[in-house]
Structure 1
Amino acid sequence: MAVDASRSGQEAAPGGRWGALGPVGLVLAGGISVQFGGAIAVSVMPKAGALGIVTLRLAFAALVLMIVCRPRVRGYSRADWGTVVAFGVAMAGMNGLFYQSVARIPMGPAVTLEVLGPLALSVFASRRAVNLVWAGLALCGVFLLGGGGGFSGLDPVGVAYALGAGVMWATYILFSARTGRRFPQADGLALAMVVAAVLFLPLGLVESGDKLVRPEVLALGAAVAVMSSVLPYTLELLALRRLPASTFAIMMSLEPAIAAIAGFLVLNQALSVNEALAISLVIAASMGAVRTQVGRGKARKSGDVVSVSGATPDAVLLPTEGAAGHAGHIKGAEEPVSETSGK
């Protein structure tokens, strides 16, 4: 599914700059849904456990995606299946580690630390000197999150889980691109979600047991799946047809701020001055890396294509959502954006 970005942008925005508010609103709505879904998940953890809520989220999301996408399972090579299984493993690891993190530290710092994974992938892959500036800003943010060093203000186990989730997020991005090249539309995503759900099912059963089948827990798990996976994927899919890649990527860099707001409103997680400044620095680093990559891409490409499932082999993929768990892509010569969030 591909459309010319410049042509679709003109159709969607006859009023010029103001016409972009439609897809921008869709992306914002998707980001808000993701992070508030994550906040609801944290509130459900006392009833179902961190692994239990991840199990429910992945299971419901897999069910919905299989019904909607109806992917075919024949005609693929062993390498294709190996790729989609690796994608599912990365998705499961990313979700599991992230939810273990937010069970221990506030959502804002957790998402901020997790974003470092995709940011590092972008900086290292681009091999441009200016990205050292963005890396430096991100490191300053990490330093401030630790209250000036040592992470004394945050649970070190929660910090480790968040950083691990960031590593898995970067891995997720790489395999989402490979999956997009091997499977049409969102078929690879649906199959990988099934892999992730199957992997997590025994973990959720061991931790939560029959709690997972309680009506209130099932209902909340379904709500988390819809808010953190199904709804954001749908909204961003619609936005990607009309929104420039650079705008989309920059907006997705705001995820740590949205997570902090969701944590404050839903979970009463207030941020210290240092934490707020740290989040701002990491957001600035992410935006800077995006703009650097966009500038590099514009120097090399003659046109953009928006694609739901694919990326160029040499693409530098940048973070999009904090918790969506899906794999759409904006595909251009140098500026595709992989939607992960897989939280």
Structure 2
Amino acid sequence: MTFSSRTSSATAPSSPAVPAAPAAPALVRHAAGRGTLGGVGLVLGGTVSVQFGSACAALVFPRAGALGTVGLRVAFAAVLLLAVARPRLRGHSAADWSVAGGFGLALGGMNILFYQSIDRIPLGAAVTLEVLGPLLLSVVVSRRASGLLWAGLALAGVFLLGQGGFGRLSLAGVAFALGAGAMWAAYIVLNARAGARFPRLDGLAVAMTVAALVSLPLGIAVSGGRLLQPAVLGLGLAVAVLSSAVPYTLELLALRRLPAATFAVLTSLAPAFAAAAGFLVLGQGLSPFQCGAVAMMVTASAGAVRAGGRRSPE
């Protein structure tokens, strides 16, 4: 039947087939579904890249220090993005520049605080604490009772992490990770707003330049001439590509396909990727309690996505 129907249509060009009216909404829903699926893939790809980049960055700490590594990472990323995006600087309002500046400060603050954290505590623990920022954002934005359930599960995961040795973690490292989480939440909101105000990657390139102007002077002040060593420069460039240029580009593109709330909870899958990266690159093993904590965070993320908080913080 299918073959004969197609043959009949082909032999009657004077009567082109016109799809029935209900087919159009179905096609729209199908296209929207593909766009959402692509957005999810972009977020997960960015998460994998940034976590393995962070693990590689920890290898640079003995040579350049945490602040020096951040400075190199962000400066190289800014140069790469400026070269690729070639942002147009004219025609933007003061409000546009305010959003881009805030986006850059959030980027710089997030990177500085997070690198200070992983210089003191294991990567998996740092990311588990850091994702509390995006999870809290998802609860606030979704305004659903189920969001509180998933946030509670995430907090239980943090408590379980504590039972697995949280008391032995550096308090400064914990504080830096929580601060990075707050900056991460701000980054999500401002990334979405910058994407709406600037075409292509222009907003990201401008924001990364602002972040470089904040972080590079701190890195130079602490590490000095060590930043110019060829090995350090090479590692810094690799970290910039893995941890900044690739993931931030993927995330900005994803935020044009996904609501910020969905993006926030998807990025909360980061503890699982961070644990894998810490184990494979740095040899940081996980205790059963810590594995349980990571599993809780991932479950909370999946549950929040399924709950479907679709409201945007715009």
Counterpart check, 1:195 vs 2:210: yes
| Shift in Å, 1:278 | 1.0
1:52-201 superposed matches below 5 A? 52-147=68-163, 151-201=166-216
Counterparts of 1:223-238 in structure 2, within 5 Å, are 223-233=238-248
Answer 1 or 2: which has greater helix percent: 2
Among all aligned residue pairs of Structure 1 and Structure 2, give the percentage whose two residues are the same amino acid: 61
* Unmatched 5+ stretches in structure 1: 13-19, 298-313, 318-343
* CA distance, structure 2, for counterparts of residue 243 and residue 169 of structure 1: 17
1:7 to 31, 37, 40: 31
Query: Relative to structure 1, is the Cα distance of residues 33 and 221 closer, same or farther in structure 2, using a 3 angstrom cutoff?
Result: same
State which drifts further: 122-131 or 57-66: 122-131
Partner residue in 2 for 1:315: 312
State the TM-score, normalizing by the size of structure 2: 0.82
- 8 A contact 1:126–1:316 mirrored in 2: no
Cα 1:145–1:26 shift into 2, 3 Å = same
Question: How many Å separate the matches in 2 of 1:178 and 1:211?
Answer: 37
Out of 102-111 and 226-235, give the one that drifted further.
226-235
The one-letter amino acid of 1:38's match is: S
Please provide the CA RMSD for this pair: 2.9
Alpha-carbon shift at residue 24 of structure 1 (Å): 7.4
Aligned equivalents of 2:145, 2:51: Cα separation in 1: 33
Structure possessing the higher radius of gyration over alpha carbons: 2
1:212 and 2:215 aligned: no
Amino acid at match of 1:210: G
Change in 2 beyond 3 A, CA 1:129/1:248: closer
Whether the 8 Å contact between 1:9 and 1:244 is mirrored in structure 2 is: no
TM-score by length of 1: 0.75
Kept in 1, the 8 Å contact 2:195–2:252? The answer is no
Q: How far, CA to CA, are the matches of 2:184 and 2:112 in structure 1?
A: 11
CA contact (8 A) 1:80 1:179 kept: yes
Alpha-carbon distance in 2 for matches of 1:255, 1:95:
15
Does structure 1 conserve the Cα–Cα contact (< 8 Å) formed by 2:154 and 2:297? yes
Partner of residue 256, structure 1 = 271
Residue matched to 1:284: 299
Whole-Å separation in 1 of the counterparts to 2:204 and 2:253: 17
- Number of the residue aligned with 1:47: 63
Deviation at 1:177, TM superposition (A): 2.1
Aligned length: 286
Is the contact made by 2:135 and 2:268 (CA closer than 8 Å) also made in structure 1? no
Deviation at 1:232, TM superposition (A): 3.3
Distance 1:53 1:147, change over 3 A: same
Unaligned runs of 5+ in 2: 1-27
Alpha-carbon distance in 2 for matches of 1:141, 1:176 = 28
* Alpha carbons of structure 1 residues 47 and 72: separation in structure 2 relative to 1, 3 Å: same
Greater RCO, 1 or 2 (C-alpha within 8 Å, sep 6+): 2
Secondary structure in 2 matching 1:130: helix
Which letter does structure 2 place at the counterpart of 1:200?
Answer: S
Output the CA distance in 2 between the equivalents of 1:223 and 1:63. 13
The alpha-carbon deviation at position 316 of structure 1 amounts to 4.7
Counterpart amino acid of 2:59? Answer: S
